[in-house]
């Protein structure tokens, strides 16, 4: 059963015909060719597919597209046109927060969600904030430092 | 251009990764691309009597052993593993066939209708059973490898010994859990097969695919796509699935995509070898370890894979950082009907260093002497000989490194404070480990097997491209090699180009393994750059250099005698833990580390390797539990195989000390694997300190600690 | 592919499920994993699906002097971020999964999933929480202990929606919640524990223990709780005896996450610690 589903995707209204149970992750990657959102586990364990829906960080592998009707979806592709992204990109580069990069777009979305909630997070808040995003390369330290750096640099943005 | 080689630079691969632009294998869409899914054995050991396939719709096909035009054996070191099961299966998850077609739903439906009729054979499910196998999986004694190394005079050492101490140590599986699962796309075009994939070793895959298809080299091309982590897991396994997609592309004449699901990846791909290591030490009245007997048994799983070399690495590291002059170590890689054990960062060393570091601590405790003094009085020094009789040519900075870590971690003050805390029921502890890692292939492997070649091409605009088969998989290889070239050529970094390798364009500089990319390949890049510099005025220049075994080194590969490595990197780790007295859960409160990796090519990249390696090592020691029952992995889902999250580890404080290696680029030595090796023993020793118990096994589970505490009461 | 309904209010939802057997879909964090297919394929559901997570009627949180009422489709984040809910209740939700999952997963879903390892369950058992089940025919309230029958099994009817969780706002001076997971975040429970005690002066008025992930359902024993109160009032509390009594009803299993021995021992130690920390002694 296919339904017409309308929602805002990266600041633009879109409409697609899809089974409402199709994973938003697949809709983004296949129907919209937005491959910046990654699939690392498909079970909500790794966070590589993290996106923001109506201001909330969610795992798009567990989110059926039927639920986004009327909602605002932000993926890395939309976020990367914002000044907040620029600050995060710079900080991630400078702190050495990226190695293989597979977790990174999801990590960036988690960082954005965290900074919206806590513009000046403590180390503990940062560690909690990214605790649903697995990274096997960095051991997390440099990611934590990158987010800290972004919060200082982007003072007033969040 | 003048710049300090250690000073960090911007990584060129990173902006696209952050922005989600970098393309990983799952992000590729070829025209008319088909999907493949694997039919796998559900039996640990059986003869395949018959396979009943359903009627296939148009456009769908089965690819199995009958579709392998060449040799149905994956060349890794030997040829024992088939691309598709050939009449027998030897582990649960062994690939039997691919179901290939356009619509994933149809593929799933076909897969669910296939019936495989098995005739079960009694499986070998443990190394103990494997060592006494009635029906061996491999050879007569069921060992893929059975080696002995020895040096000195054990008889005399035994005679002179005053104390004897024996211990047995056990380590478990570890899954690489690279964030990007394994994946390959095979494409057939005009008589040629191209394989795109997430890989560490393009030429390993190329060689395997050539033999699989029976194709001449020019008809097989391998292209590495942005790779989401490897850690050894994409060293050997991609050769298997590379051959599979090659056969599928050849059969269908269409692009075929095979990407693993996470849980499939956890369950069926290669892992770190579980080990059982027995060490028996002979010690004199001055507390010198005169001699040691060792017995190392690795669970290799169903096929040999890389086990022989993993075993050698473990054996060569069996005496740790200690100068033990008389030594006999036997090592066996035992065949079992379980998932194949393979490469994982450290490659035999994490097992060996866990064993020896615990062993030395236990000896000291048994003798009632200070473990540090005992260890330091037996420590290796410049001029000492290795387990294979090789000479330690360079200075060994371990005593200074230990002092530095003790200072950084306030280890002595903490030990005292923790003693007091224990009186009020607070269980804190701190442990320290010492270790090394040899750079590059063991023995004469670089000379005899790899013969790495590096090419540089300068165009008329002064851009230089580095052509190597080594891959950027997150570790920073691209940036490191570019820096070496730029520094040598004295040109801006922006003039140096590094692209993901495509075997049509790059020579075989060897695999991206064994911590060799900087120390071996980087050196070749440096040499090629020097040659290129001499011809800089020419418009377009191409230079190629090949690895030369350094003078003065010696290796006998039949007897395992001589220099097992041409350079050694060293490390000291301290880990502080707090054990919950109620639940025996362990919290890591601090990690301190000092490494000697020669000179750092890029300090930020180096720190990334240190942090990541240590956290993988801590996971190995603690929460990464993987066990099997009846040949089936128990923790086969991402919910149950738990790698550390940001909440499981603290900040890691690390420093570098430098004893440069003349044979490395700008004095650099091996780095990648070293960082993982010492975390597990330091963690286990910290728990021993906190609880006053003896740990002989990792991962250290709270379940085990609880039993120990219960029994102690 | 099954039919999917997106009702715009509770009444509509109840009408849909009164006419055919459906799967209620709230946060979906368990359902999407259970139904997971090959990447790219939609998850499989064997019955029509009704999305209820956005129904306003199910997203309310109310508190008065007797009850804290949490709408069935309130996410864990919504509960954690609510300023009226006492911290010790929030604690059970903060420990669950990860930030992204907590933004999706709902309290009603967690209860209806009825996993013995459901992280908020021990606290709800200890608090004597009840759930409100509504159908087009009316509503009924069922105590949480009577609601959950076993792993994945509960008494909800096909035509019912869990609309509210009602937690008595009784005050407890001593409170403990512990989750022992496979790691510090994004972890499944090996054991979870809730302990509550109300003490007036030297007198123990009420004590409650509930244990998760150690049996087919959360374990709680009013009989033993009563015994503890009796023992304390007679000043004859035998912690060893209490542990023995709990030991005989806590019968966990070995699995891929932990061992039976560990789980039982940890539970008994939680009980012991809790009792030792109480001031009447």
Q: What is the CATH number of the domain that holds A103?
A: 1.10.150.120
Whether C39 sits inside 8 A of A26 (CB atoms) is: yes
Kindly report the nearest CA distance between residue A93 and chain C, in angstroms. 24
Q: Does A39 lie at the interface with C, CB-CB under 8 angstroms? A: yes
Final residue before a domain boundary, out of A77, A92, A122: A77
Whether C97 sits inside 8 A of A44 (CB atoms) is: yes
Interface of A with B in 60-79 (CB under 8 A): 75-77
Spatial neighbors of C29 by CB under 8 A, at least 6 apart, are A44, A59, A62, C97, C101, C104, C105, C109
Q: Does A67 lie at the interface with C, CB-CB under 8 angstroms? A: yes
B647 and B624 part of one domain: yes
Among B26, B181, B646, select the one facing A140 at the smallest CB separation: B646
Below-50 pLDDT ranges, chain B: 1
CATH of the domain at B689: 3.30.365.10
Kindly report the nearest CA distance between residue C92 and chain A, in angstroms. 15
Mutate to test the interface with C, among A16, A20, A108 (most CBs of C within 10 A): A20
Residue of C72, C222, C216 whose CA lies nearest to C149 = C216
The tally of domains found in chain A comes to 2
CB contacts < 8 A (A, C): 101
Mutate to test the interface with B, among A136, A143, A147, A150 (most CBs of B within 10 A): A136
Whether A1 sits inside 8 A of C40 (CB atoms) is: no
A80 vs B contacts (CB less than 8 Å): 19-20
B533 and B419 part of one domain: no
Pick the CATH number of C4-168 from 3.40.50.720, 3.30.2290.10, 3.40.50.1820, 3.30.465.10: 3.30.465.10
A89 and A51 part of one domain: no
* Band (A3; pLDDT cuts 50, 70, 90): confident
Residue B333: how many CB atoms within 10 A of its CB? 32
A101 and A60 part of one domain: no
Residue of A69, A53, A71 whose CA lies nearest to A21 = A69
- Expressed as residue numbers, the domain containing B571 is 363-441+566-711
Interface of C with B in 16-55 (CB under 8 A): 37-41
Mutate to test the interface with B, among C1, C38, C255, C258 (most CBs of B within 10 A): C38
Whether B703 sits inside 8 A of C259 (CB atoms) is: yes
Q: Does A20 lie at the interface with C, CB-CB under 8 angstroms? A: yes
The residues on B that touch C, with CB distances below 8 Å, are 37, 104-105, 107-108, 259, 261, 582-583, 585, 623, 627, 634-635, 639-640, 642, 644-648, 702-703, 706-707, 710
A101 vs B contacts (CB less than 8 Å): 13-14, 16-18, 22, 226, 228, 474
Phi then psi for residue B299, to 5 deg, are -85, 105
Residue of C105, C46, C22, C162 whose CA lies nearest to A63 = C105
Strands (E), B190-288: 192-197, 220-224, 256-259, 275-283
Interface of C with A in 46-65 (CB under 8 A): 49, 51, 53-54
Residues of chain C with CATH 3.30.390.50: 174-277
Mutate to test the interface with B, among C32, C35, C39 (most CBs of B within 10 A): C39
Q: Does C100 lie at the interface with A, CB-CB under 8 angstroms? A: yes
Both tokens of C231, joined, read 């023992």
Overall average pLDDT of the C131-136 stretch: 98
Whether A57 sits inside 8 A of C103 (CB atoms) is: yes
Spatial neighbors of B204 by CB under 8 A, at least 6 apart, are B76, B235, B236, B238, B239, B511
Q: Strand pairing partners for A58?
A: A51
Q: How far apart are CA C14 and CA C47, in angstroms?
A: 16
Four-CA torsion B474, B475, B479, B485, nearest 10 degrees: -140
Residue B480 lies in a domain: yes
Kindly report the nearest CA distance between residue B14 and chain A, in angstroms. 6
A47 and A91 part of one domain: no
Final residue before a domain boundary, out of B204, B236, B259: B259
C42 vs A contacts (CB less than 8 Å): 19, 21-23, 26, 64
A99 vs B contacts (CB less than 8 Å): 229, 474-476, 608, 612
First to last CA, chain A: 41
A59 and A100 part of one domain: no
A113 and A61 part of one domain: no
Kindly report the nearest CA distance between residue C41 and chain A, in angstroms. 7
Among C51, C184, C185, select the one facing A66 at the smallest CB separation: C51
pLDDT at residue A2, rounded to an integer: 79
Of all residues in chain B, what percent are helix, strand and coil, respectively (each to 5)? 30, 25, 40
Kindly report the nearest CA distance between residue B585 and chain C, in angstroms. 8
Four-CA torsion C93, C94, C98, C100, nearest 10 degrees: 80
Overall average pLDDT of the A43-55 stretch: 98
Residue A158 lies in a domain: no
Kindly report the nearest CA distance between residue B243 and chain C, in angstroms. 22
Residue A98 lies in a domain: yes
pLDDT at residue B712, rounded to an integer: 78
Residue of C188, C10, C19 whose CA lies nearest to C108 = C10
Q: How far apart are CA B389 and CA B563, in angstroms?
A: 7
Q: In this structure, is the dihedral angle defined by the CA atoms of residues A114, A115, A116 and A119, taken in order, positive or negative?
A: positive
Secondary structure of residue B687 in the 3-state scheme = helix
A45 vs B contacts (CB less than 8 Å): 262, 638-639
Q: How far apart are CA B544 and CA B524, in angstroms?
A: 9
Residue of C73, C74, C29, C23 whose CA lies nearest to C52 = C73
pLDDT at residue C281, rounded to an integer: 53
Q: How far apart are CA B310 and CA C27, in angstroms?
A: 46
Kindly report the nearest CA distance between residue C135 and chain B, in angstroms. 35
Q: Does A117 lie at the interface with B, CB-CB under 8 angstroms? A: no
Kindly report the nearest CA distance between residue A52 and chain C, in angstroms. 9
Among A39, A96, A101, select the one facing B608 at the smallest CB separation: A96
B632 and B524 part of one domain: no
Among C42, C45, C101, select the one facing A132 at the smallest CB separation: C101
The tally of domains found in chain B comes to 3
Final residue before a domain boundary, out of B241, B259, B277: B259
Residues of chain C with CATH 3.30.465.10: 4-168
Residue A105 lies in a domain: yes
Kindly report the nearest CA distance between residue B262 and chain C, in angstroms. 10
A66 and A17 part of one domain: yes
A70 and A96 part of one domain: no
- Expressed as residue numbers, the domain containing A121 is 83-153
Whether C178 sits inside 8 A of B583 (CB atoms) is: yes
B526 and B651 part of one domain: no
Would you say residue C280 has pLDDT above 80?
no
A72 and A125 part of one domain: no
Pick the CATH number of C174-277 from 3.30.390.50, 3.30.420.130, 3.30.300.20, 3.40.1260.10: 3.30.390.50
Question: How do residues C253-274 score in pLDDT, each as one tens digit?
Answer: 999 999 999 999 999 999 999 9
Residue B516: how many CB atoms within 10 A of its CB? 26
Q: How far apart are CA B274 and CA B269, in angstroms?
A: 15
Question: How do residues A77-114 score in pLDDT, each as one tens digit?
Answer: 999 999 999 999 999 999 999 999 999 999 999 999 99
Mutate to test the interface with C, among A24, A29, A62, A118 (most CBs of C within 10 A): A62
Whether C256 sits inside 8 A of B635 (CB atoms) is: yes
Residue B388 lies in a domain: yes
Would you say residue A1 has pLDDT above 70?
no
Among A3, A22, A47, select the one facing C42 at the smallest CB separation: A22
Final residue before a domain boundary, out of B229, B259, B289: B259
Q: Does C84 lie at the interface with B, CB-CB under 8 angstroms? A: no
Residue B32: how many CB atoms within 10 A of its CB? 9
B690 and B579 part of one domain: yes
Whether B104 sits inside 8 A of C270 (CB atoms) is: no
Residue A40 lies in a domain: yes
Which residue's structure tokens are 């938003």? Answer: A24
A67 and A23 part of one domain: yes
Among A132, A134, A138, select the one facing B643 at the smallest CB separation: A134
B207 and B105 part of one domain: yes
CATH of the domain at A24: 3.10.20.30
Final residue before a domain boundary, out of A34, A61, A77: A77
A100 and A71 part of one domain: no
A116 and A62 part of one domain: no
Contact between B465 and B497 (Cβ < 8 Å): yes
Question: How do residues B109-147 score in pLDDT, each as one tens digit?
Answer: 999 999 999 999 999 999 999 999 999 999 999 999 999
Final residue before a domain boundary, out of A77, A102, A128: A77
Kindly report the nearest CA distance between residue B108 and chain C, in angstroms. 8
A71 and A24 part of one domain: yes
Q: Does C77 lie at the interface with A, CB-CB under 8 angstroms? A: yes
Whether A96 sits inside 8 A of B652 (CB atoms) is: no
Q: Does C106 lie at the interface with B, CB-CB under 8 angstroms? A: no
* Band (C15; pLDDT cuts 50, 70, 90): very high
C41 vs B contacts (CB less than 8 Å): 104-105, 108
Residue B476 lies in a domain: yes
Q: Determine the distance from the C-alpha atom of residue A108 to the mean position of all C-alpha atoms in its chain, rounded to a whole number.
A: 6
Both tokens of A140, joined, read 């997390």
């Amino acid at each position: 059963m296919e339904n017409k589903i309308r929602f805002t995707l990266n600041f633009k209204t879109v409409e697609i015909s899809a089974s409402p149970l199709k994973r938003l992750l697949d809709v983004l990657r296949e129907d919209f060719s937005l491959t910046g959102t990654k699939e690392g586990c498909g079970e909500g364990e790794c966070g590589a597919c993290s996106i923001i829906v109506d201001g909330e960080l969610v795992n798009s592998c567990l989110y059926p597209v039927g639920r986004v009707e009327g909602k605002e979806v932000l993926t890395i592709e939309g976020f990367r046109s914002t000044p907040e992204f620029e600050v995060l990109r710079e900080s991630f580069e400078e702190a050495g927060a990226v190695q293989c990069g597979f977790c990174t777009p999801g990590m960036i979305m988690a960082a954005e969600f965290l900074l919206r909630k806590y513009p000046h997070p403590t180390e503990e808040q940062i560690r909690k904030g990214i605790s649903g995003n697995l990274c096997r390369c960095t051991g997390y330290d440099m990611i934590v430092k990158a987010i800290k750096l972004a919060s200082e640099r982007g003072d007033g943005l969040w | 251009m003048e710049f300090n080689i250690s000073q960090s630079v911007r990584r060129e691969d990173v902006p696209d990764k952050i922005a989600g632009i970098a393309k990983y294998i799952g992000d590729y869409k070829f025209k008319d691309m088909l999907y493949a899914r694997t039919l796998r054995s559900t039996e640990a050991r059986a003869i395949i009597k018959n396979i009943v396939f359903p009627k296939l719709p148009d456009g769908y096909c089965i690819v199995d052993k009958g579709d392998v035009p060449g040799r149905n054996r994956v060349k890794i070191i030997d040829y024992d593993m088939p691309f598709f099961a050939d009449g027998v299966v030897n582990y649960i998850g062994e690939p039997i066939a691919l179901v290939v077609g356009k619509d994933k739903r149809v593929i799933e439906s076909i897969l669910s209708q296939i019936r495989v009729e098995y005739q079960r054979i009694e499986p070998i499910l443990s190394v103990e059973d494997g060592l006494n196998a009635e029906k061996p999986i491999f050879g007569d004694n069921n060992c893929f490898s059975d080696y002995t190394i020895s040096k000195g005079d054990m008889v005399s050492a035994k005679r002179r010994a005053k104390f004897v101490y024996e211990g047995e140590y056990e380590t478990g599986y570890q899954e690489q859990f690279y964030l990007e699962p394994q994946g390959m796309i095979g494409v057939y075009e005009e008589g040629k097969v191209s394989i795109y994939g997430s890989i560490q070793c393009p030429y390993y895959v190329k060689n395997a695919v050539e033999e699989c298809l029976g194709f001449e080299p020019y008809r097989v091309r391998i292209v590495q796509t942005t790779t989401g982590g490897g850690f050894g897991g994409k060293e050997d396994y991609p050769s298997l699935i590379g051959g599979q997609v090659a056969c599928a592309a050849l059969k269908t004449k269409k692009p075929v995509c095979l990407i693993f699901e996470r849980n499939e990846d956890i369950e069926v791909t290669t892992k770190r070898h579980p080990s059982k290591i027995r060490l028996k030490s002979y010690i004199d009245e001055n507390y010198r370890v005169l001699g040691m007997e060792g017995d190392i048994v690795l669970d290799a799983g169903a096929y040999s894979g890389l086990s022989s070399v993993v075993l050698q690495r473990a054996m060569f590291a069996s005496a740790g950082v200690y100068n033990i002059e008389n030594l006999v170590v036997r090592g066996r890689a035992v065949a079992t009907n379980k998932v194949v054990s393979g490469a994982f960062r450290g490659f035999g060393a994490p097992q060996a260093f866990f064993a020896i570091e615990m062993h030395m601590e236990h000896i000291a405790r048994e003798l009632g002497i200070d473990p540090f003094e005992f260890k330091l009085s037996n420590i290796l020094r410049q001029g000492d000989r290795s387990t294979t009789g090789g000479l330690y040519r360079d200075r060994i900075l371990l005593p200074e490194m230990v002092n530095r870590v003790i200072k950084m971690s306030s280890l002595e003050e903490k030990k005292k404070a923790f003693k007091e805390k224990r009186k009020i029921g607070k269980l804190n502890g701190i442990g320290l480990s010492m270790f090394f890692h040899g750079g590059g292939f063991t023995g004469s492997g670089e000379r005899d097997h790899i013969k790495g070649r590096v090419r540089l091409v300068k165009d008329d605009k002064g851009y230089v491209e580095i052509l190597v088969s080594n891959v950027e998989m997150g570790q920073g290889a691209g940036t490191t090699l570019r820096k070496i070239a730029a520094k040598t050529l004295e040109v801006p970094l922006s003039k140096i180009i590094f692209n993901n390798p495509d075997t049509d364009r790059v020579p075989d500089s060897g695999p991206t393994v064994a911590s060799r990319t900087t120390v071996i390949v980087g050196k070749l890049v440096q040499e090629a750059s020097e040659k290129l510099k001499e011809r800089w005025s020419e418009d377009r220049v191409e230079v190629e250099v090949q690895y030369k075994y350094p003078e003065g080194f010696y290796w006998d590969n039949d007897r395992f005698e001589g220099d097992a490595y041409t350079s050694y990197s060293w490390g000291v780790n301290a880990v502080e833990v707090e054990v919950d007295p109620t639940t025996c859960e362990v919290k890591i409160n601090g990690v301190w580390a000092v490494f000697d990796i020669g000179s750092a090519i890029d300090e930020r990249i180096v720190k990334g390797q240190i942090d990541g390696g240590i956290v993988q090592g801590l996971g190995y020691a603690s929460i990464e539990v993987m066990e099997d029952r009846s040949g089936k992995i128990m923790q086969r889902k991402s919910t149950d195989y738990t790698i550390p999250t940001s909440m499981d580890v603290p900040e890691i404080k690390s420093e570098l000390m430098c004893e440069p290696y003349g044979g490395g680029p700008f004095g650099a030595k091996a780095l990648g694997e070293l960082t993982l090796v010492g975390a597990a023993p330091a963690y286990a020793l910290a728990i021993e300190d906190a609880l006053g118990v003896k740990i002989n096994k990792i991962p250290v589970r709270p379940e085990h600690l609880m039993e120990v505490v219960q029994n102690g009461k | 592919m099954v039919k999917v309904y997106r009702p715009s209010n509770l009444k509509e939802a109840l009408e849909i499920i009164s006419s055919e057997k459906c799967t209620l879909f709230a946060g979906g964090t368990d359902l999407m994993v259970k139904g997971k297919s090959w990447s790219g394929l939609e998850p499989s559901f064997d019955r029509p699906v009704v999305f209820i997570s956005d129904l306003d009627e199910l997203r309310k949180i109310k508190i008065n002097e007797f009850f804290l009422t949490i709408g069935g489709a309130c996410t864990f984040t919504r509960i954690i971020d609510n300023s009226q809910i006492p911290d010790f209740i929030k604690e059970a939700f903060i420990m669950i999964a990860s930030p992204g999952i907590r933004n999706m997963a709902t309290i009603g879903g967690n209860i209806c999933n009825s996993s013995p390892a459901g992280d908020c369950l021990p606290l709800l058992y200890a608090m004597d929480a009840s759930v409100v089940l509504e159908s087009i025919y009316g509503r009924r309230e069922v105590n949480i202990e009577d609601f959950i029958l076993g792993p994945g099994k509960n008494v909800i009817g096909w035509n019912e929606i869990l609309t509210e969780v009602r937690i008595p706002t009784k005050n407890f001076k001593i409170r403990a919640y512990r989750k022992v997971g496979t790691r510090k975040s994004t972890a499944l429970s090996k054991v979870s524990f809730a302990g509550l005690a109300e003490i007036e002066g030297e007198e123990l008025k009420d004590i409650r223990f509930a244990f998760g992930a150690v049996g087919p359902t959360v374990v709680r024993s009013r009989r033993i709780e009563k015994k503890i109160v009796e023992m304390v009032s007679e000043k004859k509390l035998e912690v060893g005896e209490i542990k023995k009594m709990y030991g005989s009803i806590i019968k966990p299993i070995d699995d891929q996450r932990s061992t039976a021995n560990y789980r039982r021992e940890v539970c008994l130690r939680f009980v012991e610690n809790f009792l030792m920390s109480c001031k009447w002694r």
